[in-house]
Structure 1
Amino acid sequence: MDKYTLVAENPESTVVSEYQPHFRRETSYQTEAELEKAFIDQLHMQAYEYLPITSESELINNLRKQLEALNSYQFSNTEWDQFFKSKIANQNIGIEEKTAIIQEDHIQLLTRDDGSIKNIYLLDKANIHNNRLQVINQYVVDNGQRPNRYDATVLVNGLPLVHIELKKRGVDIKEAFNQINRYNRESFWAGCGLFEYVQLFVISNGTYTKYYSNTTRFTHIKELGNNIVRKGKLTSNSYEFTSWWADAKNRPITDLMDFGQTFFAKHTLLNLLTKYCVFTSEKLLLAMRPYQIVATERTLAQINVSYNYKTFGTIRGGGFIWHTTGSGKTLTSFKTAQLASKFPFIYKVLFVVDRKDLDYQTMKEYDKFERGAANSNTSTSILKKQLENLDARIIITTIQKLAVLIKKQKNHSVFNEHIVIIFDECHRSQFGEMHSVITKTFKKYYLFGFTGTPIFAVNSSSNSRADLRTTEQAFGTKLHTYTIVDAISFHFSLFTFHFSLFTFHFSLVTWNKKMAASMEAAIFFDRYFTEMGMA
Structure 2
Amino acid sequence: MPYFNIVAETTESTVITEYEPVPRRSDSYQSEAELEKEFIRLLTEQGYTYLNIHKEADLIANLRERLEELNNIKFTDSEWEQFFTTAIANPNDKIEDKTQTIQEDYVKVLKREDGTSKNIRLIDKKNVHNNRLQVLNQYENGKAEGAKYNNRYDVTVLVNGLPLVHIELKRRGVPIREAFNQIERYQRDSFWAGCGLFEYVQIFVISNGTLTKYYSNTTRINTIKDAVSGKTKKSKTSNSFEFTSYWADANNKVIPDIVDFAKTFFAKHTLLNIITRYCIFTSEKMLMVMRPYQITATERILNRIEIAHNYKKYGNVAGGGFIWHTTGSGKTLTSFKTARLASQLDFVDKVLFVVDRKDLDYQTMKEYDRFEKGAANSNTSTAILKKQLENPNAKILITTIQKLANFIKRNQQHDVYNKEIVIIFDECHRSQFGDMHTDIIKHFKKYYLFGFTGTPIFAKNAGARKNAQLMTTEQAFGDKLHTYTIVDAINDKNVLPFRVDFIKTMALEEDIKDEDVWGIDREKPMMAPERISLVTKYILNNFDRKTYRGDKTYVFNALTNIKDVASAGRQEVEEIKRKQRLSGFNSIFAVASVPMAKLYYQEFKKQMAEDPSKSLKIATIFSYGANEEEADGVIDDENSEDTSALDQNSRDFLEDAIRDYNVMFHTNYDTSSDKFQNYYKDVSLRMKNKELDLLIVVNMFLTGFDATTLNTLWVDKNLKMHGLIQAFSRTNRILNSIKSYGNIVCFRRLQPRMESAIALFG
Q: Do these two structures clear the TM 0.5 threshold for a shared fold by scoring above it?
A: yes
**Residue of structure 1 equivalent to 2:257:** 255
1:371 maps to a residue whose letter is K
Q: Which moved more, 1:131-140 or 1:423-432?
A: 423-432
Contact 1:42/1:260 (8 A) holds in 2: yes
- Residues of 2 paired with 1:267 and 1:285: CA distance? 20
Q: Bigger relative contact order, structure 1 or 2, given CA contacts below 8 A and separation 6+?
A: 1
2:260 maps to a residue whose letter is D
Offset of 1:471 from its aligned partner?
Answer: 0.3
**Residue of structure 2 equivalent to 1:533:** none
Offset of 1:474 from its aligned partner?
Answer: 0.4
User: Is structure 2 residue 375 aligned with structure 1 residue 373?
Assistant: yes
Could you list the per-position Cα deviations for residues 314-373 of structure 1 after superposition, in whole angstroms to 9, with x for gaps in the alignment?
A: 111100000000000000000000000000100000000001111111100000000010
User: Is structure 2 residue 66 aligned with structure 1 residue 63?
Assistant: no
**Residue of structure 2 equivalent to 1:348:** 350
**Residue of structure 2 equivalent to 1:403:** 405
Offset of 1:116 from its aligned partner?
Answer: 0.5
Contact 1:17/1:249 (8 A) holds in 2: yes
Quick one: which of 481, 494, 517 aligns to 2:720?
Answer: 517
Offset of 1:485 from its aligned partner?
Answer: 1.2
Offset of 1:145 from its aligned partner?
Answer: 1.0
- Residues of 2 paired with 1:336 and 1:468: CA distance? 25
1:214 maps to a residue whose letter is N
Contact 1:135/1:155 (8 A) holds in 2: yes
Could you list the per-position Cα deviations for residues 193-238 of structure 1 after superposition, in whole angstroms to 9, with x for gaps in the alignment?
A: 00000000000000000000001777799xxxxxxxxxxx997571
**Residue of structure 2 equivalent to 1:46:** 46
Could you list the per-position Cα deviations for residues 273-314 of structure 1 after superposition, in whole angstroms to 9, with x for gaps in the alignment?
A: 000000000000000000000000000000001100000001
Could you list the per-position Cα deviations for residues 99-157 of structure 1 after superposition, in whole angstroms to 9, with x for gaps in the alignment?
A: 00000000000000101110000000000000000000000011211110000000000
Contact 1:160/1:197 (8 A) holds in 2: yes
Offset of 1:428 from its aligned partner?
Answer: 3.1
Q: Which moved more, 1:23-32 or 1:343-352?
A: 23-32
1:451 maps to a residue whose letter is T
Tell me the secondary structure at the aligned position of residue 253 of structure 1. Answer: coil
Tell me the secondary structure at the aligned position of residue 154 of structure 2. Answer: strand
**Residue of structure 2 equivalent to 1:160:** 163
Quick one: which of 209, 212, 222 aligns to 1:209?
Answer: 212
Offset of 1:9 from its aligned partner?
Answer: 3.6
Quick one: which of 430, 443, 446 aligns to 1:444?
Answer: 446
Query: 1:523/1:393 Cα in 2 relative to 1: closer, same or farther (>3 Å)?
Result: farther
Offset of 1:493 from its aligned partner?
Answer: 13
Could you list the per-position Cα deviations for residues 485-516 of structure 1 after superposition, in whole angstroms to 9, with x for gaps in the alignment?
A: 1112213999x999x9xxxxxx9xx9999998
2:248 maps to a residue whose letter is A
Tell me the secondary structure at the aligned position of residue 439 of structure 1. Answer: helix
**Residue of structure 1 equivalent to 2:98:** 98
User: Is structure 2 residue 589 aligned with structure 1 residue 386?
Assistant: no
Aligned ranges 1:276-295 → 2 under 5 Å: 276-295=278-297
Tell me the secondary structure at the aligned position of residue 246 of structure 1. Answer: coil
Offset of 1:29 from its aligned partner?
Answer: 6.7
- Residues of 2 paired with 1:286 and 1:411: CA distance? 42
1:209 maps to a residue whose letter is T
Contact 2:455/2:761 (8 A) holds in 1: no
Quick one: which of 187, 190, 201 aligns to 1:187?
Answer: 190
Quick one: which of 135, 141, 148 aligns to 2:151?
Answer: 148
Tell me the secondary structure at the aligned position of residue 245 of structure 1. Answer: coil
- Residues of 1 paired with 2:335 and 2:268: CA distance? 25
Tell me the secondary structure at the aligned position of residue 92 of structure 2. Answer: coil
Contact 1:512/1:522 (8 A) holds in 2: no
1:72 maps to a residue whose letter is N
Count how many residue pairs are aligned between Structure 1 and Structure 2: 507
Tell me the secondary structure at the aligned position of residue 377 of structure 2. Answer: coil
Query: 1:236/1:104 Cα in 2 relative to 1: closer, same or farther (>3 Å)?
Result: farther
Tell me the secondary structure at the aligned position of residue 188 of structure 1. Answer: coil
Over aligned residue pairs, what C-alpha RMSD do you find? 2.7
Tell me the secondary structure at the aligned position of residue 440 of structure 2. Answer: helix
Contact 1:79/1:111 (8 A) holds in 2: yes
Query: 1:217/1:493 Cα in 2 relative to 1: closer, same or farther (>3 Å)?
Result: closer
**Residue of structure 2 equivalent to 1:22:** 22
**Residue of structure 1 equivalent to 2:10:** 10
**Residue of structure 2 equivalent to 1:330:** 332
Could you list the per-position Cα deviations for residues 234-288 of structure 1 after superposition, in whole angstroms to 9, with x for gaps in the alignment?
A: 9757101100000000011000000000000000000000000000000000000
Query: 1:255/1:528 Cα in 2 relative to 1: closer, same or farther (>3 Å)?
Result: farther
2:216 maps to a residue whose letter is S
- Residues of 1 paired with 2:514 and 2:100: CA distance? 50
Offset of 1:382 from its aligned partner?
Answer: 0.5
Offset of 1:94 from its aligned partner?
Answer: 1.0
Contact 2:135/2:158 (8 A) holds in 1: yes
Q: Which has the larger radius of gyration?
A: 2
Tell me the secondary structure at the aligned position of residue 137 of structure 2. Answer: strand
Offset of 1:458 from its aligned partner?
Answer: 1.3
Contact 1:216/1:283 (8 A) holds in 2: no
Contact 2:62/2:161 (8 A) holds in 1: yes
Contact 1:91/1:192 (8 A) holds in 2: yes
Query: 1:356/1:341 Cα in 2 relative to 1: closer, same or farther (>3 Å)?
Result: same
> TM-score, normalised to structure 1's length?
0.90
- Residues of 2 paired with 1:427 and 1:528: CA distance? 13
Contact 2:329/2:494 (8 A) holds in 1: no
- Residues of 2 paired with 1:490 and 1:317: CA distance? 31
Tell me the secondary structure at the aligned position of residue 378 of structure 2. Answer: coil
Contact 2:163/2:200 (8 A) holds in 1: yes
Could you list the per-position Cα deviations for residues 376-406 of structure 1 after superposition, in whole angstroms to 9, with x for gaps in the alignment?
A: 0111110011011111100000111111111
Offset of 1:17 from its aligned partner?
Answer: 0.3
- Residues of 2 paired with 1:427 and 1:51: CA distance? 52
Could you list the per-position Cα deviations for residues 453-495 of structure 1 after superposition, in whole angstroms to 9, with x for gaps in the alignment?
A: 100011112333100010000000100000011112213999x
**Residue of structure 2 equivalent to 1:172:** 175
Aligned ranges 1:266-305 → 2 under 5 Å: 266-305=268-307
**Residue of structure 1 equivalent to 2:86:** 86
**Residue of structure 2 equivalent to 1:229:** none
- Residues of 2 paired with 1:210 and 1:44: CA distance? 21
Tell me the secondary structure at the aligned position of residue 38 of structure 2. Answer: helix
- Residues of 2 paired with 1:381 and 1:40: CA distance? 59
1:518 maps to a residue whose letter is M
Query: 1:474/1:412 Cα in 2 relative to 1: closer, same or farther (>3 Å)?
Result: same
Aligned ranges 1:300-319 → 2 under 5 Å: 300-319=302-321
Contact 2:79/2:111 (8 A) holds in 1: yes
Tell me the secondary structure at the aligned position of residue 252 of structure 1. Answer: coil
Could you list the per-position Cα deviations for residues 409-446 of structure 1 after superposition, in whole angstroms to 9, with x for gaps in the alignment?
A: 11110110000001101133110111110001000000
- Residues of 1 paired with 2:95 and 2:494: CA distance? 32
Contact 2:29/2:35 (8 A) holds in 1: no
